[in-house]
Amino acid sequence: MSVSPPRPKGPPLNALRAFEAAARLGGFANAADELCVTPGAVSQHIKALEEWIGADLFERRSQGVRLSAFGAEVAPGFAEAFDAMGAAVHGMRAAARHKTLHIAALPSVAQLWLSPRLPKVRAALPELSISVSAVEAPPNLARELFDLSLFIRRPTGGLRETVLAEDVIFPVCTSVIAARLHGPADLMNETLLHDALWPEDWAIWGKAALPGQTLPDKGPRFSLYSIALEEARNGAGVLMGHQSLVEAALARGDLVAPFAEKVETGKALVLDRAGFEGGPNHLAQVLTLLQEA
């Protein structure tokens, strides 16, 4: 008679993933956002993991949670493990000659900068299927199945990072509104359009163009920059333009820049690329095409 005793089971992979994300991102809510689950689900996964291991991974406090000494000790090993798993999955896709290119981009960048350039990429690489996801925060390319990401952010000098354009801001409006603007001070009497993602834009530009004065903070606010841009085209007011996002509207004459003052924000339109480039996904060719467009 054979003896087949039950083998001990380890914790579920989802529980380990929840712990690693919460440890790396500094909390259950941030981990939940990355994993596309609720904070309650992350909390339950980690509680089950703590019961399985018999030790606390986090200290629960009224203002939130933080890693315990034990959690901080073991977290790096899981970060390395999930990075390695992500690299293995990317490698598997490359080895299988996957012909789909997945791009993650800030919604405004996807609509106003990337979309007009995709026809040229498709024409040059007809065998490549291109998928675009508009997301609010840059994905972790070591873990998620994106090949490229495009965001306006501060460059870090990373090896897989390419700065496509410096982020330069300046007011834009219709020619009708521009006709009555003789200097930046005239904006005090105009409706200023505000984008929710960059609420500090007007203050940054105003500090350089109108030293000692404060532009009014009131005015319509938009959660999508593309809607704010459309409203500017409709004559609803003056919008703070990001050069890479308004260049097409300026070229068509839909909008004009009434002032010469332009301000660099210290950010840039940055393209990040995952590993395993130069294979069937043609990352190097796509990068070249996007830079040339």
CA dihedral over 136, 137, 138, 143, signed as positive or negative: negative
Other Cβ atoms within 10 Å of 21 Cβ, number: 26
* DSSP single-letter state for residue 216: -
CB 152 within 8 A of CB 244: yes
Identify the CATH number of the domain defined by range 167-265: 3.40.190.10
- Residue among 157, 162, 197, 187 nearest 257 (CA): 187
Question: What residues does CATH 1.10.10.10 cover in the chain?
Answer: 13-93
Q: Could you tell me how far CA 37 lies from the centroid of its own chain?
A: 19
Query: pLDDT of the chain along its 293 residues, tens only?
Result: 566 777 888 888 999 999 999 999 999 999 998 888 999 999 999 999 999 999 999 999 888 899 999 999 999 999 999 988 888 887 787 777 667 889 999 999 999 999 999 999 999 999 889 999 999 889 888 888 898 999 999 999 888 899 999 999 999 999 999 999 999 999 999 999 999 999 999 999 999 999 999 998 889 999 999 999 999 999 999 999 999 999 999 999 999 999 999 999 999 999 998 865 444 447 778 888 888 76
Identify the CATH number of the domain defined by range 94-165+269-292: 3.40.190.10
Choosing among 1.10.3470.10, 1.10.10.10, 1.20.970.10, 1.10.3210.10, the CATH entry for 13-93 is 1.10.10.10
d(CA 200, CA 170): 13
3-state secondary structure of 279: coil
d(CA 102, CA 148): 7
Question: What residues does CATH 3.40.190.10 cover in the chain?
Answer: 94-165+269-292, 167-265
